[in-house]
A and B are shown apart, each in its own frame.
Chain A
């Protein structure tokens, strides 16, 4: 230990120069973070393909604006109507709606700046309060916060116009309610991400999400008058049931933040000051709880909690074989000899690379419950609703193609980032003597196989619960499916090499596909569904149903040609983009 004791002591003047952290330094840190986020956001558009990403974002923004406009303006009008019509108690629907809107936008619109994780600032000299402030502050301008807050402001305007005396109290209550929602979604996201850090939890969460999603679709289908097709349900036929559900839920819902916010405003209107204040205090208590739970998670992160899936067990020592013996067996025979090539290289006309990739993709599919659920969920929905839709004369024989389009098109977006799950493994494709053509062919073959299995199962379900589709419709649907699957495969392959995105299963709030790819995928879905519907409608209109078969066959041939063309060029295109592929998919 002599060396340690002889280590030169810290010079006194340096210790003296260590001054307390100043507010100016904190502000400088915040400014640096803001600048960092801006630079990352800006530089994302300077990369190859960045122009397309920017264009996609510019296109998406007005679409998002249109979707947001209705709820925002609607909140104002609804609030005004509730107050002026003497049904101010219905404000509770509005506050619940605002909270739901917050969540829906949060789940559907990812934040910009994909590649920046605020965890990474932990290595800097930040105290916990400053770290927490940074986490809270950066992200305030997320789409869900902006849209949710605007809807509450709109509601406030509606209330204030209808009854100006309510304005000050409502403004305060709704401001607290906005904070409650902001902290609630933050808390939810960080805890969901914490739970998603293990594979098992991800699987459970995916299953839960599937059932919630199926539940929503079931409720929408059964209670939305627009989807009843005038069969036997009147819009009000479910009202007693809904009222009964509302009366059962209401006592509990009244003690939750949306209920408390509405109740506080309603009670101040009725001069029940004590109850109004109590409700507001309840709301503040919820805000504090959400903030504390969020902060608790942040504190764990701040203290360096590792969310890695890595189990820390060390491999048992075991018997170590003779190194030299193995090494000599592994080493090559001579510089001139080639690696031994398999004699069983070709199976079903496919070379061993395609077979190996296909096996690997199948293993990945087996371990990806998301994909499996995406495959199974539409079948469940078709099973539920096929009988009802087929009873509607408007649809009749078209249930089969509608079910196939619904089932297959929804999951077709996966093809637009087919390298995303491979992560750093993509380097292997670039390093090995494999053509990317074989890799994509294997990936596509699995997709085609799944689509085919889905088609057969849907056919079986439709035959079982509805009616056997006619031969013309069946053949036309198969041809349409071939056409759309090949087209999606071709465009998806191109997008996968031109604009890959690393799929991060640990981050619930991250988008797993590029903005432009998402836009193109959406366009393709609309295009395929539109062409299918158009051809069917035209041939039925002209009473030439049989014509749809040759038309779809022709389209399938065209798609096949396009697919082969793209597949033939995929190696060249991938070579041109290999640096971006490596950079994006191999990043930490």
Chain B
């Protein structure tokens, strides 16, 4: 089966600084893929390259077997994105915006109208049809951005911090919707700093640090890897490590993080 996302030696440099270095990544179709890393590790740069917002310095990207650099339009037809900036038009209302997005993705007027009302209802935005998007709260804008990202039924969905600023109820709504998409065969590529959510949703995880991919596999594989490394730790082998522990173990050992008590002693 054709992988949903494949990157080969993906590299991006900004002058002297290398933000992403030789990242080789494969995401199988139907995976809920979590892409993690500390701040400044290269997550956003990678997701921007995958979605066409940023040109790689070298390497290649394939989405559903299509070369993202050679055939960007066809790739964009297959993917949905909730970027960092949300990509909203502030002076439209939510239905106008979804109508616009649907039409831009080539949906028919009737299909767009039907999906618009369904999505607005689903996102609890159906009562806000007169309000301009600029007047929406951040959480409402995020829900709308997600609605716009899925209106054309993408096969691969890229989400950059989708749960940031979203209340618990809306967060539950989004999770149910995303899991529903996975059941239907879509692939979701997600970045988030909320490791509990990633642990609950994602079946596969990659961790990037200082531009290098330092871990990649299913949650179980990562867990086994960490437990093998900390083999002597009896407590760790008898209970399941959380993703936070796995993350700190992997990134901490890579970056050489020191115990907090040794640092910033002036904080008290």
Knowing A14-B268, A310-B135, A323-B122, say if A335 contacts B64 (CB, 8 Å). Answer: yes
Residues of A close to B122: CB separation below 8 A:
321, 323, 326-327, 330
B140 at the interface (CB under 8 A from A): yes
Residues of A close to B148: CB separation below 8 A:
428
Across the interface, do A578 and B54 meet the contact criterion of CB distance under 8 Å?
yes
Chain A: minimal CB distance from B183 (Å): 7
Across the interface, do A339 and B106 meet the contact criterion of CB distance under 8 Å?
yes
Residues of A close to B137: CB separation below 8 A:
310, 312, 314
Query: How distant is the Cα of A171 from the Cα of B119 in the complex, in angstroms?
Result: 69
Query: How distant is the Cα of A341 from the Cα of B74 in the complex, in angstroms?
Result: 13
Across the interface, do B92 and A363 meet the contact criterion of CB distance under 8 Å?
yes
Tell me which of A339, A428, A579 contacts B77 (CB under 8 A): A339
Across the interface, do B76 and A431 meet the contact criterion of CB distance under 8 Å?
yes
Knowing A331-B183, A360-B92, A427-B85, say if A342 contacts B100 (CB, 8 Å). Answer: no
A274 at the interface (CB under 8 A from B): no
Across the interface, do A428 and B87 meet the contact criterion of CB distance under 8 Å?
yes
Interface band, chain A: 35 or more
From B35-43, B172-180, B204-212, the one touching the partner chain is B172-180
B246 at the interface (CB under 8 A from A): no
Across the interface, do A342 and B108 meet the contact criterion of CB distance under 8 Å?
yes
Across the interface, do A315 and B124 meet the contact criterion of CB distance under 8 Å?
yes
Chain B: minimal CB distance from A7 (Å): 12
Residues of B close to A315: CB separation below 8 A:
124-125, 127-128, 140
Please encode chain A, from 313 to 355, with 1 for each CB lying within 8 Å of some chain B CB and 0 for all others: 0111110110110111111111100111111110000001101
For A330, the closest partner residue in chain B by CB is B150
B258 at the interface (CB under 8 A from A): no
From A49-57, A67-75, A432-440, A485-493, the one touching the partner chain is A432-440
Chain B: minimal CB distance from A189 (Å): 23
For A438, the closest partner residue in chain B by CB is B104
Across the interface, do B52 and A430 meet the contact criterion of CB distance under 8 Å?
yes
Please encode chain A, from 398 to 430, with 1 for each CB lying within 8 Å of some chain B CB and 0 for all others: 000000000000000000000001111111101
Across the interface, do A431 and B53 meet the contact criterion of CB distance under 8 Å?
yes
Knowing A335-B29, A356-B104, A579-B54, say if A364 contacts B91 (CB, 8 Å). Answer: yes
Knowing A331-B181, A363-B96, say if A342 contacts B53 (CB, 8 Å). Answer: no
Across the interface, do A339 and B107 meet the contact criterion of CB distance under 8 Å?
yes
Name A116-136 residues within 8 Å CB distance of B.
none
Chain A: minimal CB distance from B126 (Å): 7
Please encode chain A, from 554 to 588, with 1 for each CB lying within 8 Å of some chain B CB and 0 for all others: 00000000000000000000010011001000100
Query: How distant is the Cα of A321 from the Cα of B153 in the complex, in angstroms?
Result: 19
Across the interface, do B152 and A328 meet the contact criterion of CB distance under 8 Å?
no
Across the interface, do B134 and A309 meet the contact criterion of CB distance under 8 Å?
yes
Query: How distant is the Cα of A431 from the Cα of B157 in the complex, in angstroms?
Result: 12
Query: How distant is the Cα of A328 from the Cα of B78 in the complex, in angstroms?
Result: 18
Across the interface, do A320 and B124 meet the contact criterion of CB distance under 8 Å?
yes
Across the interface, do A332 and B103 meet the contact criterion of CB distance under 8 Å?
no
Chain B: minimal CB distance from A497 (Å): 15
Across the interface, do A335 and B186 meet the contact criterion of CB distance under 8 Å?
yes
Query: How distant is the Cα of A323 from the Cα of B125 in the complex, in angstroms?
Result: 14
Chain B: minimal CB distance from A58 (Å): 26
Residues of A close to B186: CB separation below 8 A:
331-332, 335
Residues of A close to B96: CB separation below 8 A:
360, 363
Most buried by A among B87, B136, B152: B87
Chain B: minimal CB distance from A321 (Å): 5
Query: How distant is the Cα of A56 from the Cα of B91 in the complex, in angstroms?
Result: 31
B86 at the interface (CB under 8 A from A): yes
Across the interface, do B180 and A324 meet the contact criterion of CB distance under 8 Å?
yes
Across the interface, do B128 and A326 meet the contact criterion of CB distance under 8 Å?
no
Query: How distant is the Cα of A431 from the Cα of B64 in the complex, in angstroms?
Result: 16
Residues of A close to B187: CB separation below 8 A:
335
Tell me which of B105, B108, B176 contacts A327 (CB under 8 A): B176
Across the interface, do B74 and A433 meet the contact criterion of CB distance under 8 Å?
yes
Query: How distant is the Cα of A278 from the Cα of B83 in the complex, in angstroms?
Result: 63
B185 at the interface (CB under 8 A from A): yes
Residues of A close to B197: CB separation below 8 A:
none
Residues of A close to B73: CB separation below 8 A:
433, 435
For A356, the closest partner residue in chain B by CB is B103
For B73, the closest partner residue in chain A by CB is A433
A interface residues with partner B (beta carbon < 8 Å): 8, 10-11, 14, 199, 309-312, 314-318, 320-321, 323-324, 326-335, 338-345, 352-353, 355-357, 359-360, 363-364, 367-368, 421-428, 430-435, 575, 578-579, 582, 586
Residue pairs across A and B with Cβ atoms less than 8 A apart, 16 shown, are A14-B266, A316-B127, A328-B183, A330-B122, A334-B185, A335-B2, A335-B187, A339-B154, A342-B106, A342-B107, A344-B108, A345-B106, A427-B86, A428-B148, A432-B104, A433-B75
- Return the 6 tightest CB-CB contacts between A and B, nearest first: A327-B180, A356-B103, A331-B184, A425-B89, A427-B87, A342-B108
Given A335-B29, A352-B103, A432-B104, 10 further pairs, Cβ under 8 A:
A321-B121, A323-B177, A324-B180, A330-B181, A333-B185, A334-B185, A341-B108, A356-B99, A427-B86, A433-B106
